[in-house]
Chain A
Amino acid sequence: MATAVRNTDCLHARSSDALLICEHCDTVYRRRPLARGEVARCVRCGAELDRHRALSVNALLALILTAMIVFVQANIWPIFTLGLNGQFSATTLWGMIVTMWEQGAQVVAVLAAGTLFFFPMTKMMVMGWLLWFARMGRRAPGFAPLMVALHRIGPWTMSEVFVLGALVAIVKAHTYFEVVADPGIYAYGALTLLITIFAGVDMRQLWEQTPEPKP
């Protein structure tokens, strides 16, 4: 648990790295180093305040590069194939998006393109770019706006929901068709695993880990 700040503490600076504010209830805490695996929780509301950073910048970068490779695979290979009386039908993610557009569900096509392709891709590319420079101890060009953009697109990536959706679709189709799993579904499975690891990483640590540029 981080220590709560007393009313009497003098806070003269315009901003402070030593303090932490709970985003869920506005309680102010004094930051303190955390032990391995430790998570600091807000005493008032129970929300997570801070957690030990188990992964170094190098490890994060390696994970991001892996995720990018897996993401490309997940997008170029068919997800699964259906067979009926010797006819076969397969689709990739983009095949699915284009079909929805042509079938009059443009809203769904746009939602799928955003949450399954553009936002995850942007997120990974931005993270890779920021981490690449952080590794060299610098802030990447465009650091501040990119960090803000990363924070904004965070909730709009849905690859893990898509994997569960594919599973449901396979089971539904299985009643009427022959179903063959294709490489795309395995790539998506691996991607979900990587996303789960990333879920615990707060990229905002880069604000503290990289030096402020001299004005």
Chain B
Amino acid sequence: MSALPRAVDLGLIGCRMCGLVCRNVAGNAKLDGDGVGDAMACPRCGSTLRRRKTNSYARTWALLIAGFILYIPANVLPIMRTASLNDVDDNTIISGVVELWTNGSVDLAIIVFLASIVVPMLKFLSLGMLLVSSQRGSDWARPQRARLYRLVEFIGYWSMLDVFVVALLTALVRFNVLSRVEPLPGVIFFGLTVVLTMLASMSFDPRLIWDGRNTDD
């Protein structure tokens, strides 16, 4: 063991809610924290102390896969309808980006593309990769994987951008027969995808990246 001891090795647990460092009196808490009968409460805030987030792998996989399944209709189905006197037009996420681009707002087109397409895809790929590599106990590129996880956690909620755009346009473009905007099912699927991927990245325990067979650096 190097000069960087880990809480697991010292029999310590950090409270995930208030950060207090506690002694693991029970001592036998399972690594993924779902051991029965060894629940210990934080003496400061009362939250249950766990060495690792409960069932991190199973929960993260489930939420990630659910999010991915909903991401398909979110992209295939239109997210809003713009209707005017002589024209009805259904927009998907991609067509919204293209429309911004062709109307000359290249910078905003890029922002929306990043928030609606790149960020969700990055989340699926990154969390999937983090899950697989951690489950195999791989010591490959650990610092980079740790950084990737923090990036995914930090940017995840920006994907809600398109949902708010549709909501605002729906509320504002209400000129009876002249011009109207209505939300279509795609936006609901997209909103749910964002929530599920956020929950997935919260369920993943980044400490698992470092839990492999060779914890020495």
Residues on A lying within 8 angstroms of B by beta carbon are 4-7, 11, 13-17, 19-21, 23-28, 43-47, 79-82, 84-85, 87, 89-91, 95-97, 99-100, 103-105, 107-108, 111-112, 115-116, 144-145, 147-148, 151, 155, 158, 161-162, 164-169, 171-173, 175-177, 204, 207, 212
Whether the Cβ atoms of B206 and A45 lie closer than 8 Å is yes
Residues of A with C-beta under 8 A to B195:
111
Bound state CA distance, A65 and B149, in angstroms? 34
Whether the Cβ atoms of A166 and B182 lie closer than 8 Å is no
Return A7 CB to nearest CB of chain B, in Å: 5
Give the contacting residue for A45; candidates B20, B100, B143; CB below 8 A.
Answer: B143
Whether the Cβ atoms of B210 and A25 lie closer than 8 Å is yes
Return A77 CB to nearest CB of chain B, in Å: 14
**A204 and B18 in contact, given A46-B146, A111-B163 (Cβ under 8 angstroms):** yes
**A89 and B172 in contact, given A43-B4, A158-B160, A165-B164 (Cβ under 8 angstroms):** yes
Whether the Cβ atoms of A164 and B111 lie closer than 8 Å is yes
Whether the Cβ atoms of B168 and A108 lie closer than 8 Å is no
Return A195 CB to nearest CB of chain B, in Å: 12
Residues of A with C-beta under 8 A to B20:
15, 17, 207
Which B residue sits closest to A90, measured CB to CB?
A: B172
Whether the Cβ atoms of A105 and B183 lie closer than 8 Å is yes
Give the contacting residue for A27; candidates B4, B187, B209; CB below 8 A.
Answer: B4
Residues of A with C-beta under 8 A to B1:
7
Whether the Cβ atoms of A100 and B217 lie closer than 8 Å is no
Whether the Cβ atoms of B171 and A6 lie closer than 8 Å is no
Residues of A with C-beta under 8 A to B168:
79, 91, 96, 165-166, 169
Bound state CA distance, A23 and B153, in angstroms? 13
Whether the Cβ atoms of B150 and A103 lie closer than 8 Å is no
Whether the Cβ atoms of A161 and B172 lie closer than 8 Å is no
In the complex, besides A45-B146, A47-B206, 9 extra interface pairs with C-beta distance below 8 angstroms are: A5-B5, A20-B21, A21-B14, A23-B206, A104-B183, A169-B165, A171-B105, A207-B18, A207-B45
Whether the Cβ atoms of A82 and B105 lie closer than 8 Å is no
Residues of B with C-beta under 8 A to A103:
170, 182-183
Whether the Cβ atoms of A16 and B21 lie closer than 8 Å is yes
Cβ contacts A to B, 16 pairs, < 8 Å:
A7-B5, A11-B12, A21-B14, A24-B150, A25-B6, A25-B209, A25-B210, A85-B178, A104-B183, A105-B187, A107-B192, A108-B166, A111-B191, A155-B157, A158-B160, A165-B167
Whether the Cβ atoms of A87 and B178 lie closer than 8 Å is yes
Whether the Cβ atoms of A108 and B191 lie closer than 8 Å is yes
Residues of B with C-beta under 8 A to A212:
44
Bound state CA distance, A207 and B165, in angstroms? 39
Instruction: Check if B147 is an interface residue, CB within 8 A of chain A.
Output: yes
Which B residue sits closest to A45, measured CB to CB?
A: B146
Residues of A with C-beta under 8 A to B16:
23
Whether the Cβ atoms of A15 and B45 lie closer than 8 Å is no
Whether the Cβ atoms of A171 and B164 lie closer than 8 Å is no
Whether the Cβ atoms of A28 and B21 lie closer than 8 Å is yes
Residues of B with C-beta under 8 A to A164:
111, 115, 158, 161
Whether the Cβ atoms of B191 and A89 lie closer than 8 Å is no
Instruction: Check if B142 is an interface residue, CB within 8 A of chain A.
Output: yes
Residues of A with C-beta under 8 A to B202:
155
Whether the Cβ atoms of B171 and A11 lie closer than 8 Å is no
Give the contacting residue for B172; candidates A7, A155, A173; CB below 8 A.
Answer: A173
Which B residue sits closest to A162, measured CB to CB?
A: B164
Residues of A with C-beta under 8 A to B191:
107-108, 111
Instruction: Check if B58 is an interface residue, CB within 8 A of chain A.
Output: no
Bound state CA distance, A28 and B187, in angstroms? 44
Residues of B with C-beta under 8 A to A115:
160
Which A residue sits closest to B159, measured CB to CB?
A: A161
Top 4 A-B pairs, shortest CB-CB distance:
A165-B164, A21-B14, A96-B171, A45-B146
Instruction: Check if B19 is an interface residue, CB within 8 A of chain A.
Output: yes
